[in-house]
Amino acid sequence: MTRETISLVRWFGLVAGLVVAAGSALSAERPNILWITSEDNSPYLGCYGDPLAQTPNLDRLAAEGVRYRNAFANAPVCSSARTTLITGMYASSLGAHNHRSRVALPTGFKLYPEHLRAAGYYCTNNSKTDYNLANAGQPWDESSKRAHYKNRAPGQPFFAVFNLTTSHESQVAPKPGKTGFRVLPERIALPPYHPDTLEIRRDWANYYDQMTRLDEQIGELLAELERAGLADDTVVFYYGDHGGALPRGKRNLHDSGTRVPLIVRFPKPWAHLAPAPAGAWVDDLVSFVDLPVTVFSLGGVPIPAHYEGRPFLGPKKAPPREHVFLFRGRMDERYDMVRAVRDGQFRYVRNYSPHRPWGQHYSYPFQVLPSMRSWHAEFAAGRCKQVQARYWQPKPAEEFYEIGKDPFEVRNLIGQSPHAQRIAGLRAALRAEILATRDAGFLPEGMMTQLAGDQTIYDYTHGKDYPLERIVELADRASEGQPGNLPELLAALADPHPVLRYWAATGCLILRDQAAPGKAALLQRLNDDWADVRVVAAEAVAHLGEQAAAQRALDGVLRTGNLYEALAAQNALDFLRQAGHVSLARVQEMVRDLKFGEPADRIPKYFFSLP
């Protein structure tokens, strides 16, 4: 070996040593962070007080860490919740709140792994993405079923996500031939909203088995961290991606759909960052939008100005929240706009589609959940108690629940004078959240990209052409279902702004027969320039005796070539079919030849193949 070669080897060795030393120093200054996520589960854990749960690994993690009593997914479905996580913003601020949609991020808005990577973290995702984004790109160092923190550079700190699907809705039903359950079906204490059927009991019993299997997988991940010698350098988060998979869990804004388990364990070098001693409860409210900025706080990463969360751990920890903001839009193929706020004791809900039931016929859960089919069959046969039948009936405009006294949220206290001040306060808080975040959910989905034009939806809703204050005020009046609001609604039917006309027509639809004085004005809207307005006006006039005119208008919307306009029309047709205003054969004829490209393949096909 020549002297020059020896010198070169020594030089490369020195550089390599400096790189490793720099990486080690960086790792020593910042914790590794491991996120373990499970799908579709509420706090059905022993450490959360569930007597039927067998979850020893998570119980041990809770004993070594802290449990958050009030942690919430902002949306009760995976794609909308994950879009909130990956962007650090409420999906409703971006117009990405509708399940399995495709919405563009504004230029310069980076996803949280990009910020972590820029700060030196090795970021892996194993492996679900499911973002409602058209331009997410590849923000991870690795994102696949084989992605793992072990592939990082020596000494490099890591941020790693492991997503487990064992508790997903698709795993609730027992496999064919299964006969034995750890928890006998007859031992299940059913929530009051579920009728007592064998199918429901078997789904619950099997779900507890799935939770035990999930716990075993989490134990394997924690043991792997120990074997790698990394447990003392890693802050571990465990949380569910939204509420439970049993009917009235997922897709619903009650605690059963949004409240999740959240456990955080701090190793000794980072124990000073823990909010409470090991094994303790933390009552602070935590929202999914808070998780990315909390990771930034722990890792010493600057927080982007447009991120909407509040850090709840680390040097940048913010004061505790007074409430969390919750939202839902289209779930699968069904539209239903709901907004809510939840504080430590109460939930206030605003239903902007009170003419739709909580439990619409979503094709996917009806396919995979015997419990969903059984519940609906009991309702159709008239065998449900009132508390069980409510799920399949139109909703009130507002809901208010005292969680401590009514954990299943079945006693709506709206209008009760002892709570008037609290209701008014949360109603005002919800309005403030909607306005502060420039909530895009008041835009019908078919209008979004057309109104935005060359802008992103976020840019449009944060501009002067989105009169949100006027829209929210009218949407509130429309959803109240009060005949005294009809003059205001009829005046708005002629407003130059299509979103105001849409909400005016929606208010008339909610009024049904009580909107008869506005029939002529609604018939004019069947020729509106905007298809979403035509759809709602058509459904409204069908209830006023104009079925033929309604069908012609809806048939025209089905053929605009816009998936979301057509989807709105199909929803209207299905509810008119249920009301007896159009036959099943006619609906099948109207939708038979409809074909759409992507993203239609991401939406269940109930309407494309009606039974």
The residue among 300, 321, 342 that closes a domain is: 321
Question: Is 241 a member of any domain?
Answer: yes
Residue 96, in any domain of the structure: yes
Boundary of a domain, candidates 267, 294, 321: 321
Cβ(533)–Cβ(519) below 8 Å? no
* Amino acid type, 151: N
Give domain status of residue 50, yes or no. yes
The answer to whether residue 446 is domain-embedded is no
In a domain, 420, yes or no: no
The reported pLDDT for the residue numbered 142 is 98
Residue 595: per-residue pLDDT: 79
**pLDDT at site 13:** 41
From 443, 484, 425, 414, select the one nearest 352 (Cα to Cα): 443
Q: Token pair 């809770």 is at which residue?
A: 62
Instruction: Choose among 363, 390, 391, 349: nearest CA to 571.
Output: 363
State residue 235 phi and psi, 5-degree precision.
-85, 125
**65, 236 Cβ separation under 8 angstroms:** yes
The set of catalytic residues is: 78
95 falls within a domain: yes
First to last CA, the chain: 80
CA distance 196 to 186: 10
User: 140: domain CATH number?
Assistant: 3.40.720.10
Asked if residue 344 lies in contact with residue 70, where contact means CB atoms within 8 angstroms, the answer is yes
Are 560 and 535 in contact, with CB atoms under 8 Å apart?
no
Read off the CATH number of the domain in which 534 is found.
1.25.10.10
What are φ and ψ of residue 395, in 5° steps?
Answer: -95, 160
In a domain, 232, yes or no: yes
- Residue 337 has a pLDDT of 98
The predicted-structure confidence for 30-64, as pLDDT tens digits, reads as follows 999 999 999 999 999 999 999 999 999 999 999 99
Q: DSSP code of 286?
A: E
pLDDT of residue 589: 87
Residues 6+ apart with CB under 8 A from 220: none
The CA–CA distances, whole Å, from 361 to 143, 192, 333, 365 equal 34, 21, 9, 8
Per-10-residue mean pLDDT of the chain, 611 residues long, equals: 40 38 52 98 97 98 98 98 98 97 96 98 97 96 98 97 98 95 97 98 98 98 98 98 96 98 97 97 98 98 98 98 98 96 98 97 94 97 98 98 98 96 98 98 97 98 98 98 98 98 98 98 98 98 98 95 93 95 90 77 56 40
Our count of domains for the chain comes to 2
Where in the sequence is the domain holding 578, given as residue range(s)? 467-609
Domain stops at, among 289, 321, 353: 321
Sheet with 324-328, side-by-side order of all strands: 324-328, 338-342, 346-351, 398-402
The pLDDT value recorded for residue 605 is: 56
Distance between CA 229 and CA 74 in Å, rounded? 35
Structure tokens at 334: 């069904």
Is the residue at 445 inside a domain? no
